[in-house]
Amino acid sequence: MKKLKVIISGGGTGGHIFPAVAIAKALQRIHPEVEILFVGADGRMEMEKVPQAGFKIIGLPIMGIQRRLTLQNLKVPFKVIASLLKARKIIKDFQPDIAIGVGGYASGPLLKAASSAGIKTLIQEQNSYPGVTNKILSKKAERICVAYDNLEKFFPAEKILKTGNPVRHDVWQIAGKRELSQQHFGLSNDKTTLLVIGGSLGARTINRAIEKHANELTSNNLQILWQTGKNFQPNSEVLANADVKIHPFIFEMDLAYAAADVIISRAGAMSISELCLIGKPTLLIPSPNVAEDHQTKNAMALVNNNAALIIKDSEAESTLHNTILNLVKDGELQSKLASNIIKMGKPEADVTIAKEVLHICGIK
């Protein structure tokens, strides 16, 4: 079996890191003679998460431009130059057959250095609206693996391959776990379970809406499993009589999904990819604090297929509770949403991308 050397670059958020790890593990399963090196950004979460997943990572001194005026932005050009120089050295030392970019600060300098050295590159774009870095890098890439339709306006059409987003298998394989999940979270088996995912840092609007209406919701034979994020502390007096299980962060997402009857979530690309594999009735509240409002675009890809409901962030506090109660009482709507959302899932995305990597490298 031919030896293969692969660099995977990017990170910054779980939405970039977890697909990267999923691709790496698929490559290892399909082609055991593979050596994988990750390249991330110093000080970002990939520097911790990637080694935890069992892979070596090297950090670049790259940083992003702050949206507000700050002296930190004066450092950016120097950090970019330093990162390009370090990326060139990494390419020279490691001699990869291919470099994969998953988005995030580090993928820019690394893929630029790789393509300048004549190394083949592949981009994995998670969102329905690509970031600036991937738009620039796409011109030199061999292949652009995407999760959404209609990306020809951003990327060369002949390079696009619709694969879906790679999701870790341990997150979405939930069959037979419902009883275990109820025990784990202390949930009753005779109530409808509402799973609220506020994100790792929290989604303030969703959290405030749930806090405000928790008593009304749980008086309707509902129980709430609530990931608040670490930046939100619910008012215990307000929630004294509500049936809620509060967690700043849920590590056992497979169990949380297994317990859920209805799910409330933001509309990040990776969240949506997971939800499409879980197949539960879902209500999406896109974050307004993202570039080009791409979470709304992500959500509408489901809504237009009758696969999810959507509420604007600005309307959540006033309308979320009634929308939840109407959904919980409408079994036919729940069945339709669950049936349609699971049709949009791409469980083999990691393998499809790994096979494309091998194909580009001339390995059958």
Full 3-state SS string of 63-123: CCCCCCCCHHHHHHHHHHHHHHHHHHHHHHHHCCCEEEECCCCCHHHHHHHHHHCCCEEEE
Determine the Cα–Cα distance for residues 260 and 246; give it in Å rounded to an integer: 14
The pLDDT, as a whole number, for residue 68 is: 66
The pLDDT, as a whole number, for residue 180 is: 96
The beta strand positions in 15-68, using DSSP E, are 34-41, 56-60
pLDDT digits (tens, 9 = 90+) for 317-350: 999 999 999 999 999 999 999 999 999 999 999 9
pLDDT digits (tens, 9 = 90+) for 277-306: 999 999 999 998 877 788 999 999 999 999
The pLDDT, as a whole number, for residue 292 is: 75
Low-confidence ranges of the chain (pLDDT < 70): 64-68, 70-71, 73, 76, 199-202
